[in-house]
Amino acid sequence: MEQKIIFTNHVGESIDDIVGQLGSPAVFVLCDVNTQSFVLPVLQAQSGTVAAAKIISTRAGDASKDIEALASLWKSLSDLGATRQSVLINIGGGVVTDLGGFGAATFKRGMHFINVPTTLLGAVDAAVGGKTSVNFNGLKNEIGVFANADAVIISTCFFNTLPQQQLLSGYAEMIKHALLQSKDMLDRLLAYSVVYPLFDSEALLGLLEESVAVKQNIVAQDLTEKGLRRALNLGHTAGHAIEAMALKYQSPVPHGYAVAWGLVVCLVLSHMELGFPSETLHKIAAYVLENYGAHSITCKEYPELISLMRHDKKNPSPDSISFTLLKDIGQPVCGCVVSEEKIEAALDIYRDLMHI
Ligand code: GLY
């Protein structure tokens, strides 16, 4: 079943409509401490449903998306009398929608839930597509289920207060979707300025709608990631390795920045393995360098990066390293096994392109 996604800057009204259609007798809202301070009061003023809802709060930040936070959510739902017919409205970024989605999907074997993403990264990725999870045993998103929200309500009206770094982080996932879709979509994204002072939230809502449709179309064909959904991993094999290594050496980078650098590595490999056009590779590399800067990688770090790629949970077997690559824009090929020598050569070219 395709997930219902509503693009609107009248969020309160949409929440009232959807909850009315669900006919839920009781409504709960999950926020983190940031969305509780900054977003909840706005929605309480706009929506009778939110104004009357019982509020459950969780800590902010990926480190708090854990089993304790999940148990605390279940306990609040239970103590406050939630039933299978109740609805949980998750208001926040990926931490809140992942945690709240998993909590709702498992509470009494599943209650209704609605996602209201408040970050660009959440809107374009985490809140849509039915992946829910918590971190466990030191591993990210280790425990979770595929469960579609009853609805996802996407608005750009919450983004005005986001730091530029967070906007750019989400924008990298939009560039990934455009690479999977069409040259036209990519050109429109590269021409738009997601950073202040040129941020135009109406235009961004239109671009977001196109971008989310790319993911929605893929997920509708392969919710549980048996095949085609692996295309959404474009840029993530190298990106996750860069992100994990930066975290290990105490200089964490935003997820979308790692994806942007990972996309450059992936397009280099796509050129080497599948003849992806060099002109587009250079265009993306220049865009990434200008907007995300250059993430420095030294030759000495290659073995550790490659080991992280080998053990990426999306890699089907540690005996080989598999990438989603592109023949051209809109032509992904999943499961491309690439040798370590070629990955090292691609990292060399990444460093040249990033002027490192
Ligand atoms: N973030 C990629 C996916 O949802 O499959």
pLDDT at 140 over 90: no
Which protein residue has the closest C-alpha to ligand 1 atom 1? 125
Per the DSSP assignment, residues forming a β-bridge with 58 are 32
Q: How far is the CA of 300 from the centre of ligand 1 (A)?
A: 31
Q: How far is the CA of 223 from the centre of ligand 1 (A)?
A: 10
**Number of the ligand 1 atom closest to the C-alpha atom of 218:** 5
170 to each of 25, 135, 228, 250, 255, how far by Cα in Å? Answer: 35, 21, 22, 22, 9
Of 190-199, 279-288, 316-325, which has the strongest mean pLDDT?
279-288
Counting ligand 1 atoms within 8 A of each CB, the residue from 148, 169, 177, 233 with the most, and so the one to mutate, is 233
With beta carbons less than 8 A apart as the criterion, state whether 268 and 281 touch: yes
How many CB atoms lie under 10 A from the CB of residue 80?
A: 13
Question: Is there an atom of ligand 1 within 6 Å of 176 CB?
Answer: no
Q: How far is the CA of 23 from the centre of ligand 1 (A)?
A: 30
Rounded to two decimals, what is the model's pTM?
A: 0.96
d(CA 323, CA 338): 7
Which protein residue has the closest C-alpha to ligand 1 atom 5? 232
Q: How far is the CA of 231 from the centre of ligand 1 (A)?
A: 9
pLDDT digits (tens, 9 = 90+) for 208-243: 999 999 999 999 999 999 999 999 999 999 999 999
d(CA 152, CA 188): 24
**Number of the ligand 1 atom closest to the C-alpha atom of 233:** 2
Which protein residue has the closest C-alpha to ligand 1 atom 2? 232
50 SS3 class: helix
Question: Is there an atom of ligand 1 within 6 Å of 129 CB?
Answer: yes
Cα radius of gyration (the chain): 20
Per the DSSP assignment, residues forming a β-bridge with 333 are 325
User: pLDDT value at position 329?
Assistant: 98
Question: Is there an atom of ligand 1 within 6 Å of 125 CB?
Answer: yes
- Split at pLDDT 50, 70, 90, the class of 326 is very high
335 SS3 class: strand
Strands 87-92, 27-32: pairing is parallel
Which protein residue has the closest C-alpha to ligand 1 atom 3? 232
pLDDT at 155 over 70: yes
User: pLDDT value at position 40?
Assistant: 98
User: pLDDT value at position 298?
Assistant: 95
**Number of the ligand 1 atom closest to the C-alpha atom of 219:** 5
Q: How far is the CA of 125 from the centre of ligand 1 (A)?
A: 6
pLDDT at 1 over 80: no
User: pLDDT value at position 197?
Assistant: 60
With beta carbons less than 8 A apart as the criterion, state whether 216 and 2 touch: yes
Question: Is there an atom of ligand 1 within 6 Å of 229 CB?
Answer: yes
Question: Is there an atom of ligand 1 within 6 Å of 131 CB?
Answer: yes
pLDDT at 7 over 90: yes
How many CB atoms lie under 10 A from the CB of residue 174?
A: 28
* List of residues 6+ apart from 251 with CB closer than 8 A: none
* Amino acid sitting at position 148: N
Name the residue among 139, 309, 93, 326 with its Cα closest to residue 232: 326
Question: Is there an atom of ligand 1 within 6 Å of 214 CB?
Answer: no
* List of residues 6+ apart from 51 with CB closer than 8 A: 44, 45
User: pLDDT value at position 184?
Assistant: 98
* Amino acid sitting at position 125: D
pLDDT at 324 over 80: yes
pLDDT digits (tens, 9 = 90+) for 83-133: 999 999 999 999 999 999 999 999 999 999 999 999 999 999 999 999 999
d(CA 101, CA 148): 8
pLDDT digits (tens, 9 = 90+) for 53-92: 999 999 999 888 999 999 999 999 999 999 999 999 999 9
Element (H, E) at 116: strand 112-117
pLDDT digits (tens, 9 = 90+) for 261-275: 999 999 999 999 999
Phi-psi sector, 330: left (phi>0), alpha (psi -120 to 50), beta = left
pLDDT at 246 over 70: yes
Strands 5-7, 151-154: pairing is parallel
d(CA 87, CA 8): 20
d(CA 309, CA 298): 16
**Number of the ligand 1 atom closest to the C-alpha atom of 131:** 4
With beta carbons less than 8 A apart as the criterion, state whether 212 and 178 touch: no
- Split at pLDDT 50, 70, 90, the class of 196 is low
d(CA 267, CA 333): 12
Helical H segments across the chain, by residue range: 11-22, 33-38, 40-46, 48-52, 67-79, 94-106, 120-121, 164-181, 183-191, 201-221, 236-248, 255-274, 278-292, 302-310, 340-353
Which protein residue has the closest C-alpha to ligand 1 atom 4? 129
How many CB atoms lie under 10 A from the CB of residue 112?
A: 21
Work out the burial of residue 348: count CB atoms within 10 Å of its CB; fewer than 13 is exposed, 13-18 middle, 19 or more buried.
Answer: middle
**Number of the ligand 1 atom closest to the C-alpha atom of 173:** 1
Q: How far is the CA of 124 from the centre of ligand 1 (A)?
A: 10
Question: Is there an atom of ligand 1 within 6 Å of 232 CB?
Answer: yes
User: pLDDT value at position 236?
Assistant: 96
User: pLDDT value at position 65?
Assistant: 94
